[in-house]
Structure 1
Amino acid sequence: MIHRCVLFLILLLPICAQSQQDSTKVSQDSIKKAEFIKYLGNGFLPTKYFDFDLRYLIKYNQFEALRTGLGGITNKQFSEKIRLSGYWVYGFKDDKDKYSISGGFRVDPKRNTWINLTYTDDLQETGSSKFLTDKRFFTFFEPRLLNIDLFHRHITKSISLEHQISSNLLSETKVSYSKINPTYNYNFKPSNESFNTYDLSLATISLQWSPFSNYEFQDDVLVETKEGYPKFTLQYIKSVKDIFNSNFNFSKLDLRTIYQVNHKNDSKSNITLTAGFANGDAPLTHLYHAYPNNIRKETILQRFSVAGLNSFETMLFNEFFSDRFGTLQLKHFFRPFKISEWLKPQLVLISRHALGDMANKERHLGITFNTLDQLYSESGFEINKLFFGFGLSFAYRYGSYHIPNFEDNIAFKFTFNLTL
């Protein structure tokens, strides 16, 4: 009997070994699949040495119409000390090529310190502002971009330094020189001389502080393992006249605070506070809008489009510009309603408010706009993820900037939220 058991075990060993190999292979395949989906969710199509950037494949806006191209960045298999990136795109309506080339080298792995050199010839939305330290954000569909028509072209040369001061404090510093050419009828007249194109030499420092988040090193990269709130971002920009023929002196200070409360019933509340202040001879291209996302059409259905993630849905494009402003956005995400395994819509209540002003409005010639010297308010709701990431949004404009015609205060749109 013992001999039979031993013989049975000997015969079973190859089968167990094969089973173990199959199990290991399945596990490895699952890991590779998960990594691939993670890359894809971040907007990259990975190859051996180079990751294609999906942000540049296809977009649409009112100035370029269809915008398409290719872009990407080298990965760790290429080098852990050097990275090369770039993109090329073409706009069919304006019949122009745009591109960017960038190279960086890492000088301190533990602090994730990189020095980057970049050359860019592209468009930028007038009045938009972005924090250097913001994480890369990718979405398969950018709703605001569809209706933007106010762009300025810039040719920018820059050198920047990324540095992790501590596990909770990230910094980036950049020095740049730009040639600015608005694509619309605009002249800036800070004194006796009027400018329709101009040069700017900018120094920028950006800090992002996440005091309640937890971080740890994974493969020599500092990774946020627990997201904590509030989070604070501060950015200062200084334009210096006469350096590399720069035309204007001005400064900008931008702040943002994000606070989120996760409730026990899988719901959450989010508060986002932003503020910006520009002082000196700043042209309209480098001032502020409040992220409007409404087009100038007569009826609600004609204005039907796609809602943004953090935009004012009832505010018309190019309606307001400010040299000092603040916004408050309040959102409450209810627990998703589980109707079925594939249908789990989520109700979100939203309230947005903006306040701003502008000194020397008469300096900005050729374009008509208002200022936010009174409180702008809108409130509404979203029902997200009704069908393949699509949902519905409703917002109503009220308060000081309420429009006499009732229908003009209403924004009814699609929403799109899809994560991999």
Structure 2
Amino acid sequence: MFSVSFAFSQTPKDSTAAVNDSIKKANFLNRLGNGFFPTKFLDIDLRYLVKFNQYEGLRSGLGGQTSNEFSDKYRINAYLVYGFVDKKSKYSIGGGVRVAPKTNTWINLSYTDDLQETGSTQFILDKRFFQFFEPRLLNIDLFHKHITTKLSVEHEISPKLLTETQFSTSNISPTYSYNFIANNSIYHAFEVSLAKIAFQYNPFDKFDVKGNKQTLVKSGFPKFTLQYTKSFKDVFGADFNFSKVDFRTIQKFNHKNNANTLLTFTAGFAHGDTPLTHLYHAYPNNIRKETILQRFSVAGINSFETMFFNEFFSDKFTTFIVKHYFAPFKITERYQPQLVLISRYALGNMSNIDRHQNLDFNTLDKGYTETGFEINKLLFGFGLSATYRYGAYHLPKEEDNIAVKFTFNITL
């Protein structure tokens, strides 16, 4: 009787310790989910540990940034990686200072010597997009080297409206045979000086306010991201004038029984003397192999699974992706596979395509369509997907229109 009573009784101190342990565990999992393994003064960045692509082969290294325990006013971040096929080291070093805690305003400076996938326009506010496994990286072979010095300012106009402004200068050299005709000259390597400003507006997010700290308690939809890029010729030796506008909106509809529908619309437009490195490729994820089994790999999140790498490039494009997640099949408490129906559409074009030399590619002016399904979390986070390519870009050989792949989903 005494032992039972003792087991269930807690002093206030015990209760406080349990709450603190729970908070520490939640904080650890949150930082791990954002791609960091936290230590006392340094958060190790898991993105740089092990990767693989067709140019570098195995890419491995170490990176991290100082934690809030080190300082909540200053931060230092760096990484160093090595490619075992190209036998080259890549690195970045930077730091930041927080000048206004209330609006979480940071001024950052960095220097980077690394590779970037050609045509992979990124939203600069998507900083902490992290996956334990990034499937598209395995098959990418079109990279350009860049040495970039960057100054940026992060600022929260409100918790629901985030902004970032960047100024950068880059020395760029494609790793593949490519020439760009502009200014009555032919360029293989070139320099660009860019200014970028981005806004992310999440009007339906809900926050818990405690003192000066605001914590996101519910992520609402729709979400909107807008980004403008301007390249300045002759500024710090830059070679081209061009501008870009990129937009994305995400909407999610929740249904009964934990089913939901996710819609993602993305659009981009480039104007002026824009080299291929800074154009759009619509995120293909299919390798050029003879049979379906030889093309068997891992499906991405928002990539086109039947579109071959380097098949299409655009200076103006839109993509629309629809995913319907059925309620998980509750076979057991822990084993709950989920069926997802997916349809993807891409439309694009390119002006003056003949300015881009030594590469053969098509445009998306006829509209690209594919549809398929995923069955996720069949075993240890792995599942299966099948996708079919149809419409204007349907290929003569039927099996070339089919992509069968693994999926990988894990939730902390």
TM norm structure 1: 0.94
TM-fit CA distance, 1:336: 0.3
- 8 Å CA contact 2:35–2:45 kept in 1: the answer is yes
Distance in 2 separating the partners of 1:406 and 1:52: 46
Distance in 1 separating the partners of 2:179 and 2:188: 5
- One-letter amino acid of the structure 2 residue matched with residue 223 of structure 1: T
String of CA shifts for 1:25-83, please: whole Å, max 9, x gaps: 44443433333222222221111111111110000000000000001111111111111
TM-fit CA distance, 1:16: 9.5
> What 5-or-longer segments of structure 2 have no aligned partner?
none
Distance in 2 separating the partners of 1:108 and 1:216: 20
TM-fit CA distance, 1:165: 1.0
- 8 Å CA contact 1:109–1:221 kept in 2: the answer is no
1:109 paired with 2:130, answer: no
User: Could you say which residue in structure 2 is the equivalent of 1:336?
Assistant: 328
Q: Kindly tell me: are residues 14 and 412 of structure 1, through their superposed partners in 2, closer, same or farther at Cα, counting changes over 3 Å?
A: closer
- 8 Å CA contact 2:35–2:128 kept in 1: the answer is no
Q: 1:129 aligns with which of 121, 126, 142?
A: 121
- 8 Å CA contact 1:109–1:220 kept in 2: the answer is no
RMSD value over aligned CA atoms? 1.9
- 8 Å CA contact 1:179–1:200 kept in 2: the answer is yes
- One-letter amino acid of the structure 1 residue matched with residue 287 of structure 2: I
TM-fit CA distance, 1:190: 1.8
Residue 197 of structure 2: SS of its match in structure 1? strand
**How do residues 66-215 of structure 1 correspond to structure 2 at under 5 angstroms?**
66-215=58-207
Distance in 1 separating the partners of 2:60 and 2:167: 29
TM-fit CA distance, 1:214: 1.8
String of CA shifts for 1:154-212, please: whole Å, max 9, x gaps: 00001001011122211000000000010000011124210010000000000011112
Report how many aligned residue pairs link the two structures: 409
Distance in 2 separating the partners of 1:396 and 1:16: 58
User: Could you say which residue in structure 2 is the equivalent of 1:5?
Assistant: none
Identity %: 63
Residue 110 of structure 1: SS of its match in structure 2? helix
Distance in 2 separating the partners of 1:323 and 1:364: 12
1:306 paired with 2:298, answer: yes
Q: 1:39 aligns with which of 12, 27, 31?
A: 31
User: Could you say which residue in structure 1 is the equivalent of 2:406?
Assistant: 414
Q: 2:390 aligns with which of 398, 401, 404?
A: 398
Distance in 1 separating the partners of 2:77 and 2:209: 24
> What 5-or-longer segments of structure 1 have no aligned partner?
1-8
User: Could you say which residue in structure 2 is the equivalent of 1:232?
Assistant: 224
Distance in 1 separating the partners of 2:328 and 2:6: 49
Q: Kindly tell me: are residues 405 and 39 of structure 1, through their superposed partners in 2, closer, same or farther at Cα, counting changes over 3 Å?
A: same
TM norm structure 2: 0.96
Q: Kindly tell me: are residues 414 and 177 of structure 1, through their superposed partners in 2, closer, same or farther at Cα, counting changes over 3 Å?
A: same
- One-letter amino acid of the structure 2 residue matched with residue 88 of structure 1: L
Q: 1:259 aligns with which of 251, 269, 289?
A: 251
Q: Kindly tell me: are residues 323 and 15 of structure 1, through their superposed partners in 2, closer, same or farther at Cα, counting changes over 3 Å?
A: closer
Distance in 1 separating the partners of 2:40 and 2:178: 47
User: Could you say which residue in structure 1 is the equivalent of 2:239?
Assistant: 247
TM-fit CA distance, 1:18: 7.8
String of CA shifts for 1:269-318, please: whole Å, max 9, x gaps: 01100000000000000000000000001111010000000000000000
